[in-house]
Structure 1
Amino acid sequence: MQAQTLKQAPALTTAAEDKTNQKRFHGFVAGVTSGVTKLVVGHPFDTIKVRMQTSGSDRFRGPMHCLMETLKKEGPKALYKGATPPLIGWAFMDSIMLGSLTTYKMLLQGGDPNVKLTPFWSGIAGVGAGITVSFVAAPIEHVKARLQIQYDAKTRLYAGPVDCARQLIRNNGVTGLWKGLVATLWFRSWFFMWWSSYEIYATQLRQRTNMSEAAINFWAGGLGANTFWLFSFPCDVVKNKIMTQPDVKNPPFPTIVSCFKHVYRTDGLKGFYRGFLPCLLRAFPTNACALTSFELTMRWLRKLDE
């Protein structure tokens, strides 16, 4: 009996490890569906946001004016300028972000899925995911932002994402693609607010409503995203200004601090929230849909394993 028990134990350990690895893998797979959903729903809003953030206050009177000018002069396709990098990039980025978030949560749970993380520790897992994905996100967002501010033939410097990346590498080396990495890390450290607030919203909705789990994912996802952007938006403004500044040896904003000072000196505190309205309008439906598709995919993958 003792020998039989010793033979069975490794099999049980292997089965548990396989199940844990499957759960980690699920996060990366489901993240792809989140990224694709995010692009389809959110890219037009993102284009308006980036144009508002990087233009002078004399170019657009507000987000609606920016939208109408874009449609009038460039047509509806302009709202999806720079969409190719995030089509590939957001699917990849969300796979890394949500997959690593799942992994970090499992590590904090000690490998026990029955352990319920507090909002604080969910936020810590979010910070880890934000730092992890920043190294992938920085070059993708750099190329995307440069393509989004090409308004017409006069301002067109790049034929497309590949040409943009090629020029950046030619002028600055491969590391030129990662211009704005520090600002990206700073910006994504605010994922703490996203994932901690997401848990709070989801818990309250479960306790106070009779919503389905999918509806809870939708509302908590949208509200969590808006909470994140409320705190992180000034960092995003600085990040995009650094990424879209002229590609020269001595750029106007060599550091985050220099860019921060420029924004404050030029537009005051309101300059850090320029383009906030289209961002907020985009954040709720985009992330609500993306997180719903992520959670639905996770549940579907879990059922396949049963």
Structure 2
Amino acid sequence: MPSSHKRVDALFAGFASGLTKVAVGHGFDTVKTRLQLNPVFTNESAVHVLITTIRHEGVTALWKGATPPALGWAAIDSVLLGSLHQYRLFLLYNGMTEDPTATGRPRLTLLAHGTAGLLAGLTSAPLATPIELLKVRLQLQTQKAVSDRQFKGPVDCARHLVRSQGLLGLWTGFSGGLLFRANFFYMFLAFEACMRGLSRLKGTPYEPSVGIANLISGGAASLCFWTMALPFDRTKNQMMVHPYPRPYPESSTFKRPSFISVARQIHASEGIAGFHRGLATCFIRAFPSNACAFFVYEGILRALGAEQVRLLSF
């Protein structure tokens, strides 16, 4: 088994990936959150939300709530992608492999890549939940002046939550977060499947470099992920901001809603379509942000000489 110190490389690569994702995609994420949760925009398009936000609050409003992701998503992706690498290695060394070319150099099966993604998603959920909660609450504040907003920033929002609901208030929506992040099964399975598909172009005029293959596969995998995960994302976010747009509770006796009750509420008021609000915005945001994030993650792993979990064919 390779030396364990090399596995720390995945944590660093994940941290860099998280920063990349926020820099590229946070503005689109703000539009998605408002489409999903702000009743003013229930029947509006993403373009309308974008234009309205910029017109009334300025371009910088698209990066409301960016501080938690900038610091937090870097930490989340460090845990997500760092643990992903460890789970891949565990499955590789414990036989969840195949050797299709009979070379004696086994690789992980596609199911193993998906399983590692599932486990990594669940592992990152305890850290991701409070960070996502602060993000969506800050994104929903439409006042241009900071002095007019209920929460002046992530620290102020966190203080309000702890004061009104106790420390566990920061984990409102945790069950939804677990179900949402379980869908990383599809992302990492799809990423590996795309990488293997692109490797078949080797020796043809269309053969991509490893970096380009990472970009294409990362973007495509993100579309697969959001197609499956968006209903859970919508429900999770609704849990986190309950009872928005009514005022947030000030009492620790406030009963937080369950995933099932919120899902039923969304279905009753908006039907199945309500679970897919913001899908177009997700796709527009997800492809470039995740393509760049995978490019950075995989590139750093290669540069640092981390253990390989697949047989590269490029």
Q: TM-score, normalised by structure 1?
A: 0.89
Q: Deviations over 1:279-305 (max 9, x none)?
A: 1100000000000011111111118xx
Tell me, yes or no, if structure 1 residue 126 matches structure 2 residue 123: no
Tell me, yes or no, if structure 1 residue 81 matches structure 2 residue 64: yes
Given residue 75 of structure 1, which amino acid in structure 2 is its aligned partner?
G
Tell me, yes or no, if structure 1 residue 177 matches structure 2 residue 173: no
Q: Deviations over 1:155-175 (max 9, x none)?
A: 721010000001100111111
Which protein shows a greater Rg? 1
Q: Deviations over 1:49-99 (max 9, x none)?
A: 001010226556110000000000000100000000011001101110000
Of 270, 274, 284 in structure 2, the residue corresponding to residue 271 of structure 1 is 274
More helix by share: 1
Given residue 244 of structure 1, which amino acid in structure 2 is its aligned partner?
V
Q: 1:57 to 1:267 in 2, by over 3 A?
A: farther
C-alpha contact (below 8 Å) 1:253/1:259 kept by paired residues:
no
Partner Cα separation in structure 2 for residue 57 and residue 79 of structure 1: 17
Q: Deviations over 1:247-281 (max 9, x none)?
A: 32576961111111111111111111111111110
Given residue 132 of structure 1, which amino acid in structure 2 is its aligned partner?
T
C-alpha contact (below 8 Å) 1:123/1:196 kept by paired residues:
yes
C-alpha contact (below 8 Å) 1:264/1:271 kept by paired residues:
yes
Given residue 284 of structure 2, which amino acid in structure 1 is its aligned partner?
L
Q: 1:57 to 1:118 in 2, by over 3 A?
A: farther
Given residue 210 of structure 2, which amino acid in structure 1 is its aligned partner?
E
C-alpha contact (below 8 Å) 1:53/1:274 kept by paired residues:
yes
1:111 to partner: Cα distance: 7.2
Report the 3-state secondary structure (helix = DSSP H, G, I; strand = E; otherwise coil) of the residue aligned with 1:109: helix
Q: TM-score, normalised by structure 2?
A: 0.87
Any unmatched runs of 5+ in structure 1? 1-15
C-alpha contact (below 8 Å) 1:44/1:79 kept by paired residues:
yes
Tell me, yes or no, if structure 1 residue 295 matches structure 2 residue 278: no
Alignment of 1:59-98 (within 5 A): 61-98=44-81
Of 5, 9, 30 in structure 1, the residue corresponding to residue 13 of structure 2 is 30
Q: How many residues align?
A: 286
Kindly report structure 1 stretches of 4+ aligned residues shifted beyond 4 Å: 57-60, 111-114, 249-253
Partner Cα separation in structure 1 for residue 59 and residue 17 of structure 2: 24
